């Protein structure tokens, strides 16, 4: 079930989708460790702006990244649906939290359901996008997690 890039740059696999601002995004389900409700976040001085801070995940201190700020979208009021998606870190494999507005569903994508990211017209940096999912009459932006976590 691993997501694999096909010749056309589209992806196949199972994704966890979530909402940030007006768009629905997806990350590979295999990279997701768990979904937790919002926790009190301790800001870490001197860290990059996308990093909200650190939280106590059952005794482990893990960093949390704001997906709004990663996509250079404006911050929003806190909402009870806000959650942290805990994913495996790109390099060390240690967990990293992604703060999102809310989670939506777990969806499967076949090559027919996806197409390569367009060069223009997206709210976010195209280089973060692996493919566009277009099944179930919805447009969902499937993210390349390693790029999302890199360089911040």
Q: Tell me which of 7, 22, 40, 77 binds another protein, using CB under 8 A.
A: 40
CA-nearest of 121, 1, 8 to 16 is 1
Q: Is residue 59 a contact residue for another protein (CB under 8 A)?
A: yes
In the complex, the smallest distance separating the C-beta of residue 95 from another protein, rounded to whole angstroms, is 7
Q: Is residue 152 a contact residue for another protein (CB under 8 A)?
A: yes
H or E element at residue 141: strand 140-143
For another protein, give the closer residue by CB, 16 or 62: 62
Looking up tokens 């994913």 gives 87
3-class DSSP state of 145? helix
Residues in binding contact with another protein, number by CB under 8 A = 26
Query: Which parts of 70-89 interact with another protein (CB under 8 A)?
Result: 89
In the complex, the smallest distance separating the C-beta of residue 150 from another protein, rounded to whole angstroms, is 10
In the complex, the smallest distance separating the C-beta of residue 47 from another protein, rounded to whole angstroms, is 4
Q: Is residue 92 a contact residue for another protein (CB under 8 A)?
A: yes
Secondary structure (DSSP) of 8-49: TS-EEEEEEEEEETTEEEEEEGGGEEEEEE----B--TT--T
- For residues 123 and 22, give the distance between their C-alpha atoms in angstroms, rounded to a whole number: 10
Contact residues for another protein (CB under 8 A)?
Answer: 40, 42-48, 51, 53-56, 58-63, 89, 91-92, 94-96, 152
């Amino acid at each position: 079930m691993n997501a694999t890039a096909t010749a056309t740059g589209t992806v196949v696999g199972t994704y966890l989708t979530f909402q940030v601002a007006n768009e629905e995004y997806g990350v590979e389900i295999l990279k997701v460790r768990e979904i937790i409700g919002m926790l009190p976040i301790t800001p870490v001085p001197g860290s990059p702006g996308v990093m909200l801070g650190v939280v106590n995940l059952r005794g482990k201190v893990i960093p949390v990244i704001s997906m709004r700020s990663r996509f250079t979208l404006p911050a929003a009021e806190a909402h009870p649906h806000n959650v942290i998606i805990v994913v495996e870190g790109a390099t060390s494999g240690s967990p990293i939290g992604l703060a999102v507005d809310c989670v939506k569903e777990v969806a499967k994508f076949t090559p027919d359901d996806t197409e390569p990211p367009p060069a223009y017209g997206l709210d976010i940096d195209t280089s973060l996008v692996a493919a566009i999912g277009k099944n179930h009459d919805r447009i969902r932006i499937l993210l390349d997690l390693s790029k999302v976590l890199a360089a911040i």
